[in-house]
Chains A and B, each alone.
Chain A
Amino acid sequence: MSVWDSIRYAVAAVLMSIGAFFFLVGTLGLLRFPDFYSRTHGATKCDTVGAGSILGGLALLRGFEPDVLKIVAIASLVLLTSPTAGHALARAAYRTGLRPWTRRIEGGGQT
């Protein structure tokens, strides 16, 4: 194994650990946040970062091969569909009249 390969594997391992960490944080957010909307934040957002860095790590682990393009395709589809799903959930909740949890009430741009 060359030096380049060791560096590549190390960086891939770090990226995947970061991804796992964000999945953990996302799950914790899902459990700890007070209402539906903030839980949607936890579920969709940390997933985006988690899946993104895990896929990045996998691509790096694979090296320069055509398979990497498939991983890039998966990543871009996740980045396109995950916010759409989150938005659909939040919109459905809002349209059925679920009010978001707030700590305070103030004027201005707030509804």
Chain B
Amino acid sequence: MKAGQCAALLALFWLVLTGRLDLLPLVAGVLAAVLIAVWATSSLWQRDDPPVLSPAQWLRFIGYTVRLVRDIVAAAIVVAEKVLDPRMPISPVLIVHRAKFDREVSRIALANSITLTPGTLTVDIEGDEFLVHCLNEDFAADIVDGTFDRRIRRVFEEP
């Protein structure tokens, strides 16, 4: 199942890149996708939990992405205001945020979402502790009150 989903993703990526449906490139691409998927699931992800999602999780992931993009745009405007303000009203802080996740992919998703959102930057992760650098304390509001955690748990940790 893991290898199957990985192969499907890789084959889809190949199709997008080649952009045509000729027989020979298609066969070569699918063959390569299957080989890489088998190698990845048997040795690359031997010990780790592979980032495989169920169909319901994929759907929620798309919803999550849309909401994240909206948040990113909103935060980018605030950061732009601060950059363009001659007085540059920033007061950076480092905050420690604790979030307990069952899967590795959730931690990566949280760290990446924090870094993607303007104004916040994941500096370090140790166990359940995320060290986050914020341009201003207000940027951290969504992280500190656990909104991010709850969204990510809903996407990746519910079946």
- A: residues with CB less than 8 A from B are 21-22, 25, 28-29, 32-33, 35, 37-38, 40-42, 44-46, 48-49, 52, 66-67, 69-70, 72-73, 79-80, 82-84, 86-87, 90-91, 94-95, 100-104, 109-111
Contact = CB atoms under 8 A, between A and B. Distances in A.
A67 B19 contact: yes
Contact of A37 (B17, B83, B121): B121
A103 B136 CA distance: 10
B129 to A, nearest CB: 10
A70 B123 contact: no
A110 B95 contact: yes
Interface residues of B, number: 36
B8 to A, nearest CB: 15
A96 B73 CA distance: 32
A84 B72 contact: no
Interface of B: 13, 16-17, 19, 69, 72-73, 76, 79-80, 83-84, 88, 90-97, 111-112, 115-119, 121-124, 131, 133, 135, 144
A109 B79 CA distance: 23
22 contacts: A22-B76, A33-B88, A37-B123, A41-B133, A45-B76, A46-B76, A46-B118, A48-B76, A49-B72, A70-B16, A86-B121, A87-B115, A87-B123, A90-B121, A90-B122, A90-B123, A100-B92, A100-B133, A102-B93, A109-B144, A111-B96, A111-B131
B112 A46 contact: no
A21 B84 CA distance: 11
Contacts of A70: 16-17, 19
A103 B87 CA distance: 13
A34 to B, nearest CB: 8
A22 B84 CA distance: 11
